[in-house]
Chain A
Amino acid sequence: MEPVIEKFTNKDLVTDQEIRWCPGCGDYSIVKQAQTVIPELGIPRENIVFISGIGCSSRFPYYMETYGMHSIHGRAAAIASGLKGSRPELSVWIVTGDGDALSIGGNHTIHILRRNFDVNILLFNNEIYGLTKGQYSPTSEQGKVTKSTPMGSIDHPFNPIALCMGADATFVARSMDRDPKHLQAILRRANEHKGASFVEIYQNCNVFNDGAFEIFTEKSSKKNETLFMEAGKPLIFGENSDKGIHLDGFTPTIVDLTATGMSANDMWIHDETDRVKAGILSRFFDNPKNPNHLPRPFGVFYVEKRECYEDSMAKQLVDAKAKKGEGDLDSLLRGRETWTVN
């Protein structure tokens, strides 16, 4: 008999802790979408664990009435690896930010992806250090003037999606705080995927980096600047869905459907399982100020089925027991060779 999973609602996920994010912060929306989606997933609440590092985003677990750990800077992925490795049946979520996951914790991020633990990684990217009050982050654009870069940042920024593709992640997606429906859908997909799911969430820090993603999130520009990818559907965007992406060899080009008379079905059809094409899409990363820039993709870039680390780990134990039998402590202590002194 299947165990009965006690139903719960979004209200049951609210803790008694006062939320300390700045009023207007994009994090509020993300917590709300997560609280909306999680009760629908059919996971017992007591089996859900949120693990975070340090930063504004990392306060997240305090606002989720599940098990949780607010750990140290950059290390959430490493802690989650141990938890998932030892307790594969738990639903483990990592909440992190651009500084936490890509700067101080960059190493753990790439390694958890290549190992493919079945966890969900939510990276709140606000392109700034919020908690430490406004220094540039590894995703801030070059030239950014911040408290620590009065003459403009000279760092070349990370492209988080391309980084994850490079680390052989098995689920790579992007969403945004200002599109609740899309974010909810992506969270569901991330949970469904068995393997390390990486979700980059554009998040507005209205105090230190207000409007960083405005061009993608505001009604007036959103349709022309964003490309919502859907599996099996053509890559179409624009005010009246009148523009498409066509692949000439390996070069993506923007096609004006009205002017060329081409149909949507002549365009690039999105295939989430195509690694090469996902790689190209991950490189749709132009500065929107450049003329002829490509739109910024949202949705699922890439999905791959690959055995999860915790399953391989458990399997080795089963195999070892099958081969050698259940370990016997006394014979282990005794070893192979003994002698007796009278």
Chain B
Amino acid sequence: MNTDGFDPKNLRLANIPEAENPLENHSLDNYKVIRMDVTKMTRAALEGSDLGVKEIDRAKNMFVLGFLYWMYNREMTHTLKFLDEKFGKKPDILDANVKVLKAGYNFAETREEMSTRYTINPAKIAPGTYRNIMGNQAAALALIAAAQKSGLQLFYGTYPITPASDILHELSKQKNFGVKTFQAEDEIAAICSSIGASFGGSLGVTASSGPGIALKAEAMGLALMLELPLVIINVQRGGPSTGLPTKTEQSDLMQAYHGRNGEAPIPIVAAATPSDCFNMVYEACRIAIMSMSPVIMLSDGYIANGAEPWMFPKSADLKPITVKFAKDKNAGEKFLPYKRDENLSRPWAVPGVKGLEHRIGGIEKQHETGNISYEAKNHEFMVQMREAKVEKIADYIPAQDIEVGTDKGKLLILGWGSTFGAIKSAVLQAREKGLDVSHAHVRYIKPFPKNLGEILYGFEHVIIPELNSGQLIKILRDKFLIPAEGLNKVQGMPFTAEEILTKIENHFGK
């Protein structure tokens, strides 16, 4: 959107009353609006040029075109050739157009505009009332919903990073819901501030992308030792290191699974579509509170910035989230901060409650008392206890369902995360062709739903498409000892349905 085109004069020319400036009246809230002053930037790109202002301003369209080239991931050679043919005889105009075209392209790159967009295939859509939703927006709504349903204050400590920052932007607009957002000095402070807030009885949440998650690893270990609820959202992008900030990838699953020192199990959930970010962030909050544990929710650039129609829920229909703050001593005269309930969770005792004063920390602690303990058998017991607590979550998450097809058969395509749309349409097409193939999509990755093994064993063959070199497959092979086959793509681009369909057809020898 060229902000320059929306000044009072232009609005008048377009017959739009000033009060209804679409940039300000929220009518574009359901769209991702990219604001840029094209005129200003075009002029800046051509500073020092001999061309007059009028001629310079004529190059504005090139700026936008360059921007679009970046967004749609296209090479500019065609246009460069065209410009050369058209203006070859006027070198200053040619030069100006090329300069501005490149400036637009570079501007998009520097702003880290996502270059992969979520596309949905027009499908039969169930009756109901819909709105549009983007993944990061859905994540923000889910956090507010979870805070409201649990009666907790939401504290969101974060540090700007592509492609997660939009969650912060969205939440910081919603302060009338009592949301506290804190833009910390770095990724470590972001997670630590949220841990501090959780210690105080808030719903502490942090979000980032791969490199930022790496910085948070030590503090995640702390949260796990403290056994405090905390939600960590990773909007994945291409890695390693700075990698491909604006491209999508599913390559941080192992980081979520193992990426901490010591044996440090953290529950993991993953969203399949933009609107599913709502469900899975909400679930992450529910699990964190019930298990008194940090929970990682995996999204990625593709669904975070992609939009889809969403049959939004009513708040009354959302699962209840019950918080049980400790009120009294739980062992006669004493308070045992690490005494466990039926979920193996410890009590959440927040400062301000008389008689429950206690100290927690990152050092290994004695069972129940929480006192520092270096005792050998106790350590082993606590390591196993923390793992058992995470496994126990399987008791209170839904069973794995089949998305398309049957729960037994020749071939199962098992996916996770943003590959959902491509897998689903490929499997639907394959079934139309009479192939015995089904689709299941895992949303709970640690722990898995209890019936996942049964489903996997019900198929002769399992193919696992992932936008990485094979990460979920390693976990599944390890856990279920099945000879699953990977379908992998690490190009910073989502799968197309055709790629998956081809794989299915090849499997059946077509």
Chain A contact residues, CB within 8 Å of chain B: 6, 15, 17, 44-49, 51, 61-62, 64-72, 75, 78-87, 89-90, 107-108, 111, 313, 316-317, 319-321, 323-327, 329-330, 332-342
One of B195, B315, B363 near A79 (C-beta < 8 A): B195
The distance in angstroms between the C-alpha atoms of A89 and B179, with both chains bound, is: 18
The distance in angstroms between the C-alpha atoms of A3 and B447, with both chains bound, is: 46
- How distant is B12 from chain A, measured CB to nearest CB, in Å? 26
Known: A61-B359, A335-B312. A341 touches B130 (CB 8 A): yes
Any chain A CB within 8 A of the CB of B451?
Answer: no
Known: A78-B188, A87-B351. A335 touches B196 (CB 8 A): no
Any chain A CB within 8 A of the CB of B176?
Answer: yes
Any chain A CB within 8 A of the CB of B314?
Answer: yes
One of B127, B157, B185, B315 near A341 (C-beta < 8 A): B127
SS class, residues of chain B in contact with chain A = mixed
- How distant is A194 from chain B, measured CB to nearest CB, in Å? 19
Asked if B130 contacts A339 (CB within 8 A), the reply is: yes
One of B129, B144, B192, B351 near A75 (C-beta < 8 A): B192
Any chain A CB within 8 A of the CB of B325?
Answer: no
One of A67, A68, A75, A83 near B189 (C-beta < 8 A): A75
Minimal Cβ-Cβ distance residue in B for A340: B129
The distance in angstroms between the C-alpha atoms of A326 and B218, with both chains bound, is: 37
Minimal Cβ-Cβ distance residue in A for B177: A327
- In the A-B complex, list the 10 residue pairs whose CB atoms are closest, starting with the nearest: A82-B196, A70-B361, A82-B193, A327-B177, A78-B192, A320-B175, A83-B196, A78-B189, A79-B196, A68-B359
The distance in angstroms between the C-alpha atoms of A64 and B26, with both chains bound, is: 52
- Chain B residues whose CB sits within 8 angstroms of the CB of A327 once the complex forms: 144, 148, 174, 176-178
The distance in angstroms between the C-alpha atoms of A81 and B363, with both chains bound, is: 22
List 7 A-B pairs, Cβ < 8 Å.
A45-B357, A70-B360, A87-B350, A317-B176, A327-B148, A335-B30, A335-B132
- How distant is B370 from chain A, measured CB to nearest CB, in Å? 11
The distance in angstroms between the C-alpha atoms of A330 and B199, with both chains bound, is: 29
Asked if A86 contacts B155 (CB within 8 A), the reply is: yes
Any chain A CB within 8 A of the CB of B197?
Answer: yes
- Chain A residues whose CB sits within 8 angstroms of the CB of B188 once the complex forms: 75, 78, 108
Asked if A335 contacts B29 (CB within 8 A), the reply is: yes
Any chain A CB within 8 A of the CB of B355?
Answer: yes
- Chain A residues whose CB sits within 8 angstroms of the CB of B363 once the complex forms: 70
A-B contacts besides A69-B359, A84-B196, A341-B127, 18 pairs, CB < 8 Å: A6-B354, A46-B357, A47-B351, A71-B222, A71-B361, A72-B222, A81-B184, A81-B193, A81-B196, A82-B195, A85-B180, A86-B201, A86-B202, A333-B312, A333-B314, A335-B133, A336-B29, A339-B130
- Chain A residues whose CB sits within 8 angstroms of the CB of B182 once the complex forms: 81-82, 85, 313
- How distant is A248 from chain B, measured CB to nearest CB, in Å? 39
Chain B contact residues, CB within 8 Å of chain A: 26-27, 29-30, 125-133, 141, 144-145, 148, 153, 155, 157, 174-180, 182, 184-186, 188-189, 192-202, 204, 218-219, 221-222, 226, 312-315, 350-363, 371-372
- Chain A residues whose CB sits within 8 angstroms of the CB of B372 once the complex forms: 17, 62
Minimal Cβ-Cβ distance residue in A for B157: A82
- Chain B residues whose CB sits within 8 angstroms of the CB of A67 once the complex forms: 351, 357-359
- How distant is A119 from chain B, measured CB to nearest CB, in Å? 11
Asked if B186 contacts A342 (CB within 8 A), the reply is: no
Asked if A90 contacts B29 (CB within 8 A), the reply is: no
Name the residue in A61, A321, A327 with the highest tally of chain B Cβ atoms < 10 Å from its Cβ.
Answer: A327
- Chain A residues whose CB sits within 8 angstroms of the CB of B218 once the complex forms: 72
Minimal Cβ-Cβ distance residue in B for A20: B372
Minimal Cβ-Cβ distance residue in B for A48: B351
Minimal Cβ-Cβ distance residue in A for B311: A341
Asked if A107 contacts B199 (CB within 8 A), the reply is: no
The distance in angstroms between the C-alpha atoms of A333 and B313, with both chains bound, is: 7
Asked if B226 contacts A329 (CB within 8 A), the reply is: no
- How distant is A169 from chain B, measured CB to nearest CB, in Å? 15
The distance in angstroms between the C-alpha atoms of A333 and B197, with both chains bound, is: 25
Asked if A336 contacts B30 (CB within 8 A), the reply is: yes
The distance in angstroms between the C-alpha atoms of A15 and B357, with both chains bound, is: 10
Known: A67-B357, A85-B182. A79 touches B131 (CB 8 A): no
